[in-house]
Amino acid sequence: MSDALLRPIRSGNAFEETVERLLQMVRLGVYGPGDALPPEREVARRLGVSRDTVREAIRSLASAGYLVTLRGRYGGTFLAETLPSDEPTWAAGRPEIKVEDLLTIRELLEVGSIRMVSRRSLTAAERDALWSRLSDVLEATPEDYRRLDARLHLTFSELVGAPYLTALLADNRMMVNQLLDHIPLLERNIAHSNEQHHAIVLAVLTGDVDAAVEAMEEHLAGTVALLRGFFGHPDAAR
C-alpha cells in the first residue's frame, strides 16, 4: 500500500502534499505505533520532492505529535506510540453542512472574487490597502497569523465591491478557520502560503487575471491537502 501512497507529487504544494501522504499512511494503518518509516532519501525519491521538503514535513509532524525522530545507530523516523486527538466540532448547530461542501463553496467564492477583482482598475487607496493587508500577513506572529490571513482573503472580496459576497465569504471562512484551528501551525506551510499570497496580490495589482486565478487555486489546494492529511477524507472530520 505504501507504494501507491508514495507516488510522485504533481502540484505546486510539495510540502503540504508530503504531509498529506505521510499522514495517509498513518491513518490507513500502513504503519503501526512505533513502526519505522522509510528513510528520508527514499521518501523524497518516491514522491519526487527534495529531501529538505521531506525533512520539514517530518519535523512538523514530529512537533505535532505524530512522529518521533531518533538519532544514532538505531535512529530514524517512527510513528508515535500514541497519536494526537484531532476531532473538530466546527459544525455545531449546522449539521447539514459537509466539509467537502464547505471547501467547494470556499473555492467558488474565493476564486470568483480573485477573478473579478483582478479585472478591476483599483484606486491608489485600494492598492495601498491591499498591499498593507499583505504586509500584515507577511509580518504576522503565529498567534495572529490566521486572523490576518483571513483578513487578507476578505479584502479581495471587499475590493470587488459586492458587500453580500463579502458576507458569504466571511461566514464560510469562519467555519474553515474552525477546522484549521485543529491543525498545528506548520512553519514551512506558513512560508509557502505567504509566497502564494505575494503572488496573488502581485497578479491582482498588475491585472493578470489568469495568474491570479491560478495562484489562488493552488493556494486553496494546499489547505485541502493539509485537511485531508490531518483528518483523512474531510467529511471524516465530522
CATH class assigned to 2-79: mainly alpha
What does the pLDDT read at residue 3? 60
Question: What is the 3 state secondary structure string of the chain?
Answer: CHHHHCCCCCCCCHHHHHHHHHHHHHHCCCCCCCCECCCHHHHHHHHCCCHHHHHHHHHHHHHCCCEEEECCCCCEEEECCCCCCCCCCCCCCCCCCCHHHHHHHHHHHHHHHHHHHCCCCCCHHHHHHHHHHHHHHHCCCHHHHHHHHHHHHHHHHHHHCCHHHHHHHHHHHHHHHHHHCCCCCCHHHHHHHHHHHHHHHHHHHCCCHHHHHHHHHHHHHHHHHHHHHHHCCHHHHC
> Which cell is 187 given?
512553519
pLDDT block averages, 10 residues each, the chain of length 238? 71 91 81 88 94 94 91 84 65 59 93 97 96 96 91 93 90 86 88 97 98 97 90 54
> pTM value?
0.80
pLDDT of residue 230: 85
The pLDDT value recorded for residue 83 is 81
Q: What is the CATH number of domain 99-237?
A: 1.20.120.530
* All residues at 6 or more sequence positions from 219 whose CB lies less than 8 Å from its CB, including other chains: 193, 196, 197, 200
pLDDT given at position 13: 92
In the structure grid, which three cell numbers stand for residue 228, read together? 485531508
| Domain locations along the chain | 2-79, 99-237
pLDDT of residue 237: 41
**What pLDDT, in 10s, does the model give residues 195-231?**
999 999 999 999 999 999 999 999 999 999 998 888 7
Q: Residue 116: what pLDDT?
A: 97
- pLDDT at residue number 96: 53
